[in-house]
Each structure stands twice: as C-alpha cells, then as structure tokens.
C-alpha cells in the first residue's frame, strides 16, 4: 500500500479501506468534538492520548508507546482487523495521522495517510458515528529497530531530526521541560514537509531536506513522539530506509537533568 492516498482516490474506493480520523490538538481543543461535528463518511475516531499512547509520565514522556495489548484492543474496538488497509487523516497536514501510520507501518500492516488531510476530501462530511462490530486482534510486539530509547539515541550514528519548530528547537516552549534539543540533532520542523496546498512535498525535495539520513538511516523525535512521525513519513516517501521513532522525545529527554541539551 502506498503511504499517501489522494482524496479523489479515497472517494473512489470507500469500501476498500478503513478510514480513521486522528484529529488531536496541542492547544487543548477536542479531537473527538471535531470528529462529531463532521468527518469523512464511515470514518472512526482514535484518540492520540488514550488509543495511540500509554498514560503520560515524567519518566516516559507525554505520549509513550501503548503496550501492544492496548493498541490491539483500540483497533479491535473500532473493527479494524489484522491486515485491513487503513487510511488515517487529520486537519493538520498529517502531523497526527502519521502517528497511526507509523505504528501500523512498523508492524508491517497496510496503512496510508490522506494527503492534504480533511481538506482534500472531495465529498460531503457526515455527523453519523458508525458502530462497527468489534474484532479480536492478537497483540504484536513493537519492532525494536523501529522504536528507539533515549540511550540508543545518545549513541546512534544515524541522523537525528527534531520535528518541532525552529523556535522550540532552540528556546523551547511552555510545554517543553527545558530549552534546547538532543545534542547533534538537526532541526526539521514537520510543517516544512508540506507544500502550499498542505500536501507532502515531492520526493526529490524531501530527499534533499533529509540528505543526512541517506547514510546509516534516520531517527525522528519531537515534543512527544507524534509530529515526528510526519518526518518519518516524509523520509519514507523520499526513499530513505532504516528509520526509527524516538517515542519519548523531548518530553522525556528534557525532563531528565542527567541528559545534556544543546541550544
């Protein structure tokens, strides 16, 4: 399955995929309310905080990986069986939908992101909330080479990219535990992966942006391991392999005073 799906393609094949709304907002707005106000017909909603993450802790960060059991249960609850093709979308350029894409992609499951997000959908929106029959899913362990720890980031030879804004990369923000970034990391704001229409840039542009990852691969992180997945999607589209997410991200690294920070 290709990692990007156009709105026209999705509209032409509504019965061939499971559509998942992954809207979530850093400013505290409710993704669930946005979903109920209007979504792609047939789409279900998954919560970044509770379905795609374990509970936040200072030690693990704001969006730690959920246990395999928790993730399998969330997918099963909305009727997504193993092997079902999934198309995830949001209304922020893929910055949250790509979290679900990466989790499924890392497990070898067919998944894609709606290129351009909700704005790319050519049809009417629906307020009908589907009630799919739950299915049983066997938990599958997270591949160790696709999700790395803070210690592995500290000793890696791969290019490390920080998907936060350049301002947060240097100075931090109120939500960050302290200013700065992982030593040696490169600033790669997730928004720069998008063109003026809010779609992912062409592969050659993305290859140029992530040229440093063409060697031993690339690792992405952000504030909490969500928007970093859009950097991973961009690198994947650019043809770069050996990619990994640092789920703890700066909310874990920066909260540990024993770990160094560059500004």
Residue 222 among the catalytic residues: yes
Report d(CA 178, CA 113) in Å as an integer.
Answer: 32
113 close to 98: Cβ distance less than 8 angstroms: yes
> How does DSSP assign 156-178, residue by residue?
--SEEEE-S-HHHHHH--TTSSS
Cα–chain-centroid distance for residue 37?
23
Nearest residue to 138 via CA among 206, 199, 73: 73
Contact at 8 Å (CB) between 205 and 216?
no
Burial class (CB in 10 A: 0-12, 13-18, 19+), 124: exposed
- Among 103, 222, 234, 238, the active-site one is 222
30, 49 contact by CB (below 8 A): no
Phi/psi of residue 237, nearest 5 degrees: -65, -30
> How many angstroms separate the Cα of 256 from the Cα of each of 8, 117, 251?
46, 35, 9
Which residues are known catalytic residues?
222
């Amino acid at each position: 399955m290709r990692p990007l799906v156009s709105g026209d393609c999705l509209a032409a094949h509504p019965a061939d995929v499971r559509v998942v709304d992954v809207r979530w907002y850093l400013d505290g707005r409710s993704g669930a309310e946005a979903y109920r106000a209007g979504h792609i017909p047939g789409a279900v909603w998954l919560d970044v905080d509770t379905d795609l993450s374990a509970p936040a802790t200072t030690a693990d960060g704001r969006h730690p990986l959920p246990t395999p059991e928790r993730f399998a249960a969330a997918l099963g609850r909305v009727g997504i069986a193993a092997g079902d093709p999934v198309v995830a979308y949001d209304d922020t350029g893929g910055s949250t939908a790509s979290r679900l894409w990466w989790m499924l992609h890392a497990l070898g499951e067919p998944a894609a992101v709606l290129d351009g997000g909700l704005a790319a959908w050519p049809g009417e929106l629906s307020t009908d909330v589907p009630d799919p029959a739950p299915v049983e899913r066997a938990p599958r362990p997270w591949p160790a080479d696709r999700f790395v720890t803070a210690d592995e980031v500290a000793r890696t030879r791969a290019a490390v990219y920080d998907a936060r804004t350049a301002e947060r990369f240097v100075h931090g923000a109120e939500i960050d535990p302290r200013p700065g970034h992982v030593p040696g990391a490169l600033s790669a704001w997730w928004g720069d992966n998008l063109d003026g229409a809010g779609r992912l840039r062409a592969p050659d542009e993305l290859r140029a942006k992530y040229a440093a990852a063409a060697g031993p691969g690339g690792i992405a992180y952000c504030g909490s391991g969500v928007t970093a997945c859009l950097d991973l999607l961009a690198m994947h589209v650019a043809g770069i392999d050996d990619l990994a997410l640092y789920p703890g991200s700066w909310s874990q690294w920066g909260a540990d005073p024993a770990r160094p920070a560059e500004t």
